[in-house]
Amino acid sequence: MTSDATQSTAAALIPLQPGMFRVPDRLDASVRLLGAWCRRCGQQFFPWRVYCAACTNGDLEQVEFAETGEVETFTIVRQQPPNSVMIPPYAIVRVRLDGGPSVQTVMATDDVDAVHIGARVRLAARRVKEDEAGNTVVSFMARPLSQYKEVTHA
């Protein structure tokens, strides 16, 4: 039997870098990145910035970008860099978000040889580590849309 006190101290999902995305309520759920849109020239940026890199305007609006996009380019990492927590092989991908900017992340897939330019992906929350308080620290990674299953409600 668990007490209310135990339930209220349950581990939470917390972002690796606060303010980069809205943290979902569970791992592997879709993630929407938070960025900026320049009101003068329309340029979009991720992560958030104070001034537009295109026109130097300071009138930027915070926006939430789509969780889906397309792989523009990628590289497969087959050797583990010193002090890296990533275990090769893995793919580093550049994703053009639907209606938004390009972002770089890691592809969360066991089949790195299937990664290709033009692949449709969805950004999802992935575990990075546990913190001292037992919370799950999360970041975002791309997952091939083909790995998502449609959920239907009867």
Over the stretch 6-20, which tens digit does the pLDDT of each residue have?
Answer: 444 557 999 999 999
**Predicted pLDDT of residue 5:** 43
Nearest of 31, 64, 68, 30 to residue 46 by alpha carbon: 64
φ/ψ region of 142 (left if φ > 0, alpha if ψ in -120 to 50, else beta) reads: beta
**Predicted pLDDT of residue 149:** 55
Distance between CA atoms of residues 34 and 49, nearest Å: 11
Residue 83's identity, in one-letter code, is N
Q: Which residues pair with 71 in a beta bridge?
A: 95
Residues 6+ away with beta carbon under 8 Å from 121: 68, 69, 70, 71, 93, 95, 107, 142, 143, 144, 145
Give residue 94's Cα distance to chain centre: 12
**Predicted pLDDT of residue 148:** 60
pLDDT band at 122 (very low <50, low <70, confident <90, very high): very high
**Predicted pLDDT of residue 29:** 93
Q: What is the token pair recorded at 53?
A: 């890199």
Q: What is the pLDDT averaged over residues 124-139?
A: 93
Among 54-58, 62-66, 81-85, 112-116, whose mean pLDDT is lowest? 81-85
> Given the DSSP bridges, would you call strands 136-144 and 120-130 parallel, antiparallel or unpaired?
antiparallel
**Predicted pLDDT of residue 84:** 84
Handedness of CA 41, 45, 48, 51 (dihedral sign): negative
Instruction: Please state which CATH number belongs to domain 18-147.
Output: 2.40.50.840
Q: Is the per-residue pLDDT at 3 higher than 70? A: no
Looking at residue 59, the DSSP 8-state letter turns out to be -
Nearest of 50, 67, 41 to residue 148 by alpha carbon: 67
Q: Is the per-residue pLDDT at 85 higher than 90? A: no
Residue 138 CB neighbour total at 10 angstroms: 25
What average pLDDT does the structure give for the chain?
Answer: 88
Q: Is the per-residue pLDDT at 4 higher than 70? A: no
